[in-house]
């Protein structure tokens, strides 16, 4: 059973995943890329994954068999376990709870060779629909307060399987960075009576210098103070705290701008490894006035992120205005 543990000073929760329990010698393998060979996510290999939670497939087709376009399955090596109680407890001055949560894999395509930038628009939209559907289901579980969608594309970005997929983790706690955003947005709202993200979107659109792409419902830009070169955000123009409340029209525009951004990034940076994280409001306990969901995309270009972990202090060699210009002008 894995454990959630809290740092007693800064309040950050981490998963200590003893199921995966790594001995010192296990880490050497991780330095090797896993390419080629058998792929558990390919069509025809459905029997290798745990039983699917949901899938998009033709009417009447049997589950856990070929014929699907998207599958959601439990992670075979989950960081958290779906069954059990939270068992919140102390250990002297420290706080911990059982590693309860959902850890699901969204297999975005049956085709091993497709990636988000090259797959048909419909598949990318399905990823977002599946995420919405799973979040609506997971939020019914009173043990969970947050669902974190993320994607590691490429070995250097932390992917352990090449086949295009995202991951969804439902948690009994709110991730630290989202918590910080909520606190900051709340403070701003109480001072200004406006959503800080709405103000950011307005200023970015009005200035234009960091804009990458835009459509009726969404804007994409390089943030004013990015941690990483070519860090890119996508944000709904209209105020919305919860991703899972996105409607059909917006979902299509989200898909369009998302795929445009990934294609521009691939063109500008030669298909870099990247991480994508969806920041949305917790299921409960946050006023919808002041939080604003958005997507953060971080191409993995530098190794300079070494000491940054330890200090929270980032050195970014690329001004966002330059990064945005390259991305904006990239022909796709």
Interface segment toward its own copies; rule CB under 8 A; list 38-46, 108-116, 245-253, 299-307: 299-307
Q: Is 292 a catalytic residue?
A: no
274 beta partners: 153, 299
Q: How many residues bind its own copies (CB under 8 A)?
A: 96
CB of 272 to its own copies, least distance (A): 8
- What is the rounded distance in angstroms from the CA atom of residue 203 to the CA atom of residue 194? 13
CB of 178 to its own copies, least distance (A): 7
Q: Please, which residue, 10 or 248, has the CB nearer to its own copies?
A: 10
Interface segment toward its own copies; rule CB under 8 A; list 64-72, 122-130, 212-220, 228-236: 228-236
| Terminal alpha carbon distance of the chain | 47
- C-beta of residue 128 within 8 angstroms of C-beta of residue 190: no
Q: Is 275 in the site for its own copies (CB under 8 A)?
A: yes
Which ranges of 54-120 would DSSP assign to H, the alpha helix? Answer: none
Residues in contact with its own copies, shown as a per-residue x/- string from 171 to 210 under the rule CB under 8 A: x---xxxxxxx--xx--x-------xx-xx--x---x---
CB of 24 to its own copies, least distance (A): 5
Q: Is 156 in the site for its own copies (CB under 8 A)?
A: yes
User: Collapsing DSSP states into helix, strand and coil, what is residue 144?
Assistant: coil
- Report, in angstroms and rounded to the nearest whole number, the Rg of the chain calculated over CA atoms: 20
User: Collapsing DSSP states into helix, strand and coil, what is residue 260?
Assistant: helix
- Residues in region 46-85 near its own copies by CB under 8 A: 79
User: Collapsing DSSP states into helix, strand and coil, what is residue 116?
Assistant: coil
φ/ψ of 313, rounded to 5, equals -115, 120
- What is the rounded distance in angstroms from the CA atom of residue 124 to the CA atom of residue 218? 16
User: Which of 163, 165, 242, 294 is an active site residue?
Assistant: 165
Q: Please, which residue, 97 or 257, has the CB nearer to its own copies?
A: 97
Sole binder of its own copies in the list 37, 90, 142, 312 (CB under 8 A): 312
CB of 235 to its own copies, least distance (A): 12
Count of CB atoms situated within 10 Å of the CB of 157: 16
CB of 259 to its own copies, least distance (A): 19
Sign of CA dihedral 169, 172, 178, 182: positive
- What is the rounded distance in angstroms from the CA atom of residue 159 to the CA atom of residue 182? 29
- Residues in region 14-43 near its own copies by CB under 8 A: 14-18, 20-24, 27-28, 30
Catalytic residue numbers read: 165
């Amino acid at each position: 059973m894995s454990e959630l543990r809290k740092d007693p000073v800064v309040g950050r929760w981490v998963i200590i995943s003893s199921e995966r329990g790594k001995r010192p010698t296990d880490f050497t393998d991780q330095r090797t890329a896993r390419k080629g060979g058998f792929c558990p996510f390919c069509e025809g290999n459905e029997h290798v994954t745990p039983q699917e939670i949901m899938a998009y497939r033709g009417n009447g087709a049997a589950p856990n068999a070929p014929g699907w376009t998207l599958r959601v399955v439990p992670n075979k090596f989950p960081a958290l376990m779906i069954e059990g109680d939270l068992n919140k407890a102390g250990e002297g001055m420290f706080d911990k709870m059982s590693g309860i949560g959902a850890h699901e894999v969204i297999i975005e395509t049956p085709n091993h060779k497709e990636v988000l930038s090259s797959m048909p628009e419909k598949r990318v939209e399905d990823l977002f629909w599946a995420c919405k559907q799973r979040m609506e289901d997971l939020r019914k579980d009173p043990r969970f307060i947050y669902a974190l969608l993320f994607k590691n594309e490429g070995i250097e970005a932390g992917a352990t399987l090449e086949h295009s997929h995202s991951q969804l983790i439902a948690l009994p706690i709110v991730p630290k960075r989202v918590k910080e955003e909520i606190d900051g947005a709340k403070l701003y709202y109480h001072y200004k009576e406006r959503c800080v993200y709405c103000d950011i979107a307005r200023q970015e659109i009005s200035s234009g210098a960091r804009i990458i792409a835009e459509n009726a419902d969404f804007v994409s830009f390089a943030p004013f103070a990015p941690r990483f070169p070519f860090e890119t955000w996508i944000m709904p123009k209209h105020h919305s705290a919860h991703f899972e409340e996105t409607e059909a029209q917006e979902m299509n525009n989200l898909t369009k701008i998302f795929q445009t951004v990934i294609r521009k990034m691939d063109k500008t940076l030669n298909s870099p490894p990247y991480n994508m994280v969806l920041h949305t409001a917790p299921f409960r306990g946050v006023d919808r006035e002041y939080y604003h969901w958005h997507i953060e995309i971080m191409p993995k270009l530098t190794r300079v992120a070494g000491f940054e972990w330890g200090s929270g202090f980032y050195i970014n060699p690329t001004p966002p205005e330059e990064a945005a210009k390259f991305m904006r002008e990239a022909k796709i």
